[in-house]
């Protein structure tokens, strides 16, 4: 009876200590979110794996929606753009989307093997940045030639892609930030062509809010994985 009571108290003390250590676990710093400083202990691998798995859940939707968006924008502005420019842009976008699909298959292998996770982060950021850079073509080269209806459609597309990208890529903060900021440059270009300081201010606010929200969510998610890993290590 006495031994059982002692064992129960010991188990309760151990549980309270685990809960206390979980509550005291520090939230990862912004530099750690972006991979500029190393993550602590064995939780680093677990955090990277969880981030990549989360990104892969939404990546197919992102590829399909990206292809659909390219097709819609091309259909809206093709009559105002030289055929050669439109073919070059559409072909480059299509090639990147196909390459992105192949890369997703490659990422699944990396996750299964648990290797080269930091390199995977860098590759995702490069792909996403190139895709976003190609999206700067419509606002910088074609926007002034398009009809008012097409101009408004392009502006809405940029807003939607910035919001969607911050969500589907949010588990890979470097890629999500690059995507939002590059598209934010395109949206700023659009608002300047509209000659509206209110729209320009709203575009800056939108980019800031999306980046801040994405970073906050990433830090909380990383802390959750870190806490879970530490509890598993403690048994």
Residue 231: pLDDT above 70?
A: no
Query: Is the whole-model pTM more than 0.85?
Result: no
The CA–CA distances, whole Å, from 211 to 32, 59, 64, 107, 175 equal 16, 19, 24, 25, 11
Domain spans in the chain, listed from the N-terminal domain onward: 43-220
d(CA 200, CA 88): 30
Query: 10 Å Cβ neighbour count for 105?
Result: 8
Which phi and psi (to 5°) does residue 231 adopt?
-65, -40
Dump pLDDT digits (tens) for 112-170.
776 667 788 888 899 999 999 999 999 999 998 899 999 999 999 999 999 998 888 88
Tell me what percent of the chain is helix, strand and coil, each rounded to the nearest 5.
Answer: 85, 0, 15
d(CA 56, CA 76): 30
The predicted model gives 77-87 an average pLDDT of 92
Dump pLDDT digits (tens) for 172-228.
889 999 999 999 999 999 999 988 889 999 999 999 999 999 988 888 877 877 777
């Amino acid at each position: 009876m006495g031994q059982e009571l002692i064992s129960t108290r010991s188990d309760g003390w151990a549980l309270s200590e685990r809960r206390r250590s979980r509550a005291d676990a520090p939230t990862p710093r912004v530099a750690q979110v972006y991979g500029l400083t190393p993550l602590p202990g064995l939780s680093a691998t677990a955090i990277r794996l969880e981030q990549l798995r989360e990104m892969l859940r939404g990546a197919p939707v992102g590829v399909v929606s990206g292809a659909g968006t390219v097709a819609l924008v091309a259909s809206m502005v093709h009559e105002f753009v030289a055929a050669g420019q439109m073919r070059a842009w559409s072909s480059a976008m299509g090639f990147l989307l196909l390459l992105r699909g192949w890369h997703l298959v490659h990422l699944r292998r990396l996750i299964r093997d648990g290797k080269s996770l930091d390199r995977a982060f860098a590759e995702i950021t490069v792909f996403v940045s190139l895709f976003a850079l190609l999206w700067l073509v419509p606002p910088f080269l074609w926007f002034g030639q398009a009809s008012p209806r097409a101009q408004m459609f392009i502006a809405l597309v940029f807003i939607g892609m910035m919001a969607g990208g911050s969500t589907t890529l949010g588990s890979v903060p470097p890629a999500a930030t690059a995507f939002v900021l590059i598209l934010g440059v395109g949206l700023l270009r659009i608002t300047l062509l509209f000659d509206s300081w209110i729209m320009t201010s709203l575009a800056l606010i939108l980019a800031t809010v999306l980046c801040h929200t994405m970073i906050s969510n990433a830090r909380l998610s990383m802390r959750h994985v870190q806490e879970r890993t530490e509890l598993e290590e403690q048994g």
